[in-house]
Structure 1
């Protein structure tokens, strides 16, 4: 498993759509946190990320059309992150109770699905399109090596810049078989006898035999 992170080279339109994704992820996270707090106070139970997502689609997404402008992965992963934050708090209390996210502080979101690394420093992201990176992306740049699996991508904002990071596996492609392997026995009278039955005469031995004749 390998990791890669690089800065994105975005135009204004792309910066806007990334900000929308981060906004939806933040909204879903905060809604989920408020819902969990309320339900726990009432029932002493906390809904799972799957239950929260079903309610989000029915209760929140339907009345907030801007949810449809971004990839569905952004709010889904935000609710998974919330569930993980609760589990971390229960197992390691020192990490603290989950807190509400604020705009402009650690803006981020996650994408998966139709993500394609293109030639050079371009990558195609769902609902965002093709974006350029400042570094050459890992791809089939080395002979007989290719990316075997791609694990989605995280996009985070630091200051005024956006970064993309992802994990991937690589595998070595099998080299082409040039020919069959043949065993060879070296002899005196017969120079070589191959495993396929072929024989090659020893020239010196052949000449000595001819002189005796």
Structure 2
């Protein structure tokens, strides 16, 4: 099976190349915003004199050529990157009209410092075991830390589809190289696992394993709070404010990389060793919405809700879900999302549902059978049981169970873990 995968590397540009990268991102952002303003103002209406104007990427490419001929500082930037920005705008409007996203908004400096080139304009060469170089039009050869080889096609050749260069939150630059690669067919593992996501314990598995964030993340968050206080005392626009802002951005970027690394390692391990992975169907965007309310109707427990929101976002629940989705697709496994209702109140041994069984954040003691276990592990087993019941329905072996019935049948379903449930077909 062929697919497209991205490979992200950290760039090591010279000071002159950093200036060129920033200029390219700035001009590309300007072209995008100008095209957005034209489409927002004129839409599909004709100009005076009955001249109809096509505001798609193909129609605006001619106007872009005229703009480049009038301004040298725009002509100095690669035209391919500017055309790719017009294609991005077309895609943004398509997503809006098809209901997948909101109306396109202008790109802002600091939040959209990126640009893209097509694969035929990108060249790579190896320098040594750790470093390689990539050639970017109008910029030249830029060194990057070669941490892993690019995935190739079945014949061993590397086909680069495109390359996106973007500024990281800490001020550095990185490149994402997308290649078309071949995924080897393999037998689907017979094992299944359920995952309960939390704040105190980020990931608890039905196998009994509990996965925590690295200890350095906790220490770094204390440094982040100190950096935030320092930034709040600086005068906005001053040099000291800029230094404090860079310091805070660097700490946050390290924190984000640690979360992403954990999600990548855990999702890869689960995808390689399991044919079915079950998680709760959580609406993370709604769960982390602010409780502040309005002046007329202020919210309640705003500070407590804000702390919970930070805890959820600091773990990175959605990142693991997204990575499991595409990695299980590679290995032939499936990701099943089940309703979250009553998973923490159901006994995984007898199936009894009682809120009093959850004695504390960590302990689950069933009021019916007396079984005691870790509350997160118990919830992970219930999640797995519901997924197995849903998988049976998908295969046509059992009727669909509602939430209450799935909770009552948790113990019965959890006993069916045989390898016959996950054949290679």
- Give the alignment's TM-score, normalised by structure 1: 0.70
Q: Deviations over 1:8-40 (max 9, x none)?
A: 011110101111110111011011011111222
Q: In the alignment, what sits opposite 2:177?
A: 166
Aligned pair partner of 1:99 in 75, 87, 105:
105
CA drift of 1:147 comes to: 2.8
Q: Deviations over 1:65-93 (max 9, x none)?
A: 11121211111000000011011000016
In structure 1, what is the Cα distance between the partners aligned to 2:142 and 2:175?
10
CA drift of 1:41 comes to: 7.3
Q: In the alignment, what sits opposite 1:138?
A: 149
In structure 2, what is the Cα distance between the partners aligned to 1:24 and 1:96?
24
In structure 2, what is the Cα distance between the partners aligned to 1:21 and 1:137?
27
CA drift of 1:55 comes to: 1.3
SS at match of 2:146: coil
In structure 1, what is the Cα distance between the partners aligned to 2:92 and 2:115?
15
CA drift of 1:128 comes to: 1.3
CA drift of 1:103 comes to: 1.5
Contact 1:117 1:137 in 2 (8 A): no
Q: In the alignment, what sits opposite 1:184?
A: none
In structure 2, what is the Cα distance between the partners aligned to 1:131 and 1:85?
30
Aligned pair partner of 1:25 in 28, 41, 49:
28
Aligned pair partner of 1:127 in 138, 150, 157:
138
Aligned pair partner of 1:156 in 166, 182, 194:
166
Q: In the alignment, what sits opposite 2:199?
A: none
CA drift of 1:3 comes to: 2.2
Q: Deviations over 1:100-152 (max 9, x none)?
A: 112221210001233111014212222211111123463699xx973341112
| Number of equivalenced pairs | 167
In structure 2, what is the Cα distance between the partners aligned to 1:145 and 1:102?
42
In structure 1, what is the Cα distance between the partners aligned to 2:142 and 2:53?
42
Unaligned runs of 5+ in 2: 47-51, 183-425
Q: Superposed, which structure 2 residues align to 1:5-44 within 5 Å?
A: 5-40=8-43, 42-43=45-46
Higher helix share: 2
Aligned pair partner of 2:65 in 57, 70, 75:
57
Contact 1:29 1:78 in 2 (8 A): yes
Structure (1 or 2) with the larger CA radius of gyration? 1
In structure 2, what is the Cα distance between the partners aligned to 1:46 and 1:37?
13
Contact 2:133 2:144 in 1 (8 A): yes
1:108 aligns with 2:93: no
Alpha-carbon distance change, 28 to 136 in structure 1, aligned in 2, over 3 angstroms: same
CA drift of 1:2 comes to: 3.3
Unaligned runs of 5+ in 1: 172-213
Point out which structure has higher relative CO (alpha carbons under 8 A, 6+ apart).
1
* RMSD between aligned residues: 2.6
SS at match of 1:111: strand
Instruction: Extract structure 1 runs of 4+ deviating beyond 6 A.
Output: none
